Structure 1
């Protein structure tokens, strides 16, 4: 069963967008209807490319880390964000990157920010925006512990061999992946599209789901492989012996 926060967040986003597109879903042209977030595509995306993009617009922004290649990146400040994505990636990869970074913007930036403002009032906005330090009372307020002050950024690094990098196992990355999957390929819709599942081995079940995820829902193969295996285990609850064909 889908977790309540996941269903709620996805439903709120689709309601704000005003439509539920058919798969494969491309959120890039839709997201600005619902969120203060704009999508920017740049070829061969890396940190220096993004810094150069800002310099061209007279914004002296620098990342405090070494340059590296990226699938995508969100930079947000004062309640608004920019979502950068590699224009050279395959369409399926771009769709997942956009959904993943939208999830970060919602879950890790906008929702905590809105919760802090609701709890502490508009006077906290300059603190959230990095324009003044928090007072002692504000500093000890638990709400501020949930919010990134000043400029927020999230990076989706490109692993050396492609696929999912180490950040995937971290809680924030895991939550962003789950929301991205719920937006692009909800489990119920995937299972309905894959039915009737062949009552054969777990591996054949997973392979059928993998095909549906790639061909109908447009997920990248690396993402579809992990997701299909998880769905197959959930729906069949195969024993360890069955997974190994024994």
Structure 2
């Protein structure tokens, strides 16, 4: 996680809710795109108009967000029909995927192989057997990456529940939107039953995410050895 924060290099911030989109676009090669509806069809159409050949696969379906990343850049989509708090969290979550699952492995590959790997990472050359093996073992992406933030039947954001990559993305999104060093004092400033509401109001978190984060911080407060990574399922935090 420390590597991800360093690689992202987002500017210091002192006001909340955080303008995560503006902060990210100052330092990273990312384009945030709000659409009336985020579906595989609307994302394909948007990318096609801009000459991108890497498109989300599968049948058309409604999503909270989507990311398509290649060559150290990314388009990050989010739905205008969601609430401002949901849009903010979707943007942070998808940005976390870009950093954790694209930029960090890309920098790792460049450090290991040197600049000779860049044409492979940029899809200009085919990888060697050694490069393919390293990619498989270390999770280095050698093709365009697509991540879809789908809705379930209730329209909820499906994150932090099953997949480790989703759990890590949530963890980084929380750290950007509501850093523990700031969120913990806010949570303590009033009745226990209003903790989630204070986090939601101060940091602009979706209600359900604020409730999760309040439980995480409450357990951490009472147990010094407790960690956010243990709640979100990350066994080996970076």
- Which category describes the TM-score, using the shorter chain as reference length? 0.7 to 0.9
Q: CA RMSD in A?
A: 2.1
| Higher deviation after alignment, 19-28 or 170-179 | 19-28
TM-score, normalised with respect to structure 1? 0.82
C-alpha contact (below 8 Å) 1:46/1:70 kept by paired residues: yes
1:225 equivalent to 2:218? Answer: no
| Higher deviation after alignment, 172-181 or 116-125 | 116-125
How far 1:208 sits from its partner (Å)? 2.1
Matches within 5 A, 1:1-246: 5-6=1-2, 9-10=4-5, 13=8, 16-141=9-134, 145-165=138-158, 168-196=161-189, 198=191, 205=192, 207-236=193-222
Larger radius of gyration: 1
Listed as ranges, the gaps of 5+ residues in structure 1 are 199-204, 238-246
SS state at 1:82 partner = strand
C-alpha contact (below 8 Å) 1:116/1:144 kept by paired residues: no
C-alpha contact (below 8 Å) 2:69/2:144 kept by paired residues: yes
How far 1:64 sits from its partner (Å)? 2.1
SS state at 1:159 partner = coil
Relative distance call for 1:180 and 1:147 in structure 2 (3 A) is same
Alignment: residue pair count:
223
Deviations 1:4-36 (A, max 9, x none): x34x643664xx443314111121122121111
Deviations 1:118-157 (A, max 9, x none): 1101121222223332112323336864112121111111
Deviations 1:84-132 (A, max 9, x none): 1112211100110111111110010011001101110112122222333
Distance across 1 between alignment mates of 2:213 and 2:197:
11
Distance across 2 between alignment mates of 1:177 and 1:46:
22
